[in-house]
Chain A
Amino acid sequence: MLYNQNDLKILKDEIEFVDTAVIPFASSDMTVHAPLNSSNIEMLHLVSIQLEKQFKGRLLITPMMTTVDENISVLASYVKQLRTYGFKNIVVLTHLKAEIDDAHRIKLNEIPLENMSNEMKIEMINDEVKTVMKSVISIWNK
């Protein structure tokens, strides 16, 4: 499910089936790391779209959340809100190190996408998606 009107309507009725929220979380610092951040954000987008396709009926992919200076207070209150809404599992999909209470963190690899041919890019992303899928399944099986 995505964060749009249609899916949210379904979500309201099917919250027992859609029990997992995924928050793509990235840094948008305008420092020397900006190019790296932008590449991470692009990758996060691609991975979450693929992930949504595979597990549409059990995941809500929230809009991407960005932060500066590794401040995670907004993320923490978002996690709290999602928990109150009824999500059993909350997953933060990120390249950052930040640990969040009450949520699983799946850390992505940093891949320099801009230097790759399109085919290679797709392959790398697909591999990453597979790893993330396995982590999500292992969270479900807990």
Chain B
Amino acid sequence: MSQKVTRRQFLNYSLMGVGSFMVAGMVLPMGRFAVDPLFQSDAEGSMIQTSISADDITEEPTQVDFSFIQQDGWYESEVTDFAWVYRDGDEIIALSPVCKHLGCTVSWATDDANPERFYCPCHNGLYEKNGNNVPGTPPTGPLDQYEVGVSDGYLTIGQIFPNELV
């Protein structure tokens, strides 16, 4: 005896079928978006390669240039910035040269009275080697740090972040 599908059953099945497609059509994209952060590759691509070999970095802060493409509205330009880079034990430290007071460029040991400090020529701001601002001088916070890495023996520079050494 052949099994008969009633009209009611047939309608039920086809409704469920169509309904499940519709639900899947909504849920699947939402699910994909929800877990998307897991598939993001790390920001490794944003590390900028410099021409300085990691072995050449000493305990004396030196200026390391790096260039990147900056987009200003419609205009794309190559910008060269630099960081003060030195070695602290096994670690490599890269400090931003932008003074926290009003944004001048600080330099290492250019003030004769303070040979072991960063010096800002604009308003005589001083920073210790780890970037900490010397109290009594105009800056109100420590110098920012750059993420650093080593790729094929060469130093790479990444994102800027607030100083964590102080």
Contacts and interface: CB of A to CB of B under 8 A. Distances in A.
A55 B120 CA distance: 9
B99 interface: yes
Interface string B130-147: 000000001000000000
Contacts of B121: 54-55, 137
B102 A14 contact: yes
B123 A56 contact: no
A56 B102 CA distance: 7
Contacts, number: 35
- How many chain A residues sit at the interface, stated as a range, is 10 to 19
A58 interface: yes
A6 B88 CA distance: 37
Nearest to B101: A57
Interface string A42-56: 000000000001111
Interface of B: 99, 101-105, 120-123, 138
Given A54-B105, A137-B121, 11 more contacts: A10-B102, A17-B101, A17-B123, A17-B138, A18-B102, A54-B121, A55-B104, A56-B105, A57-B99, A57-B103, A57-B104
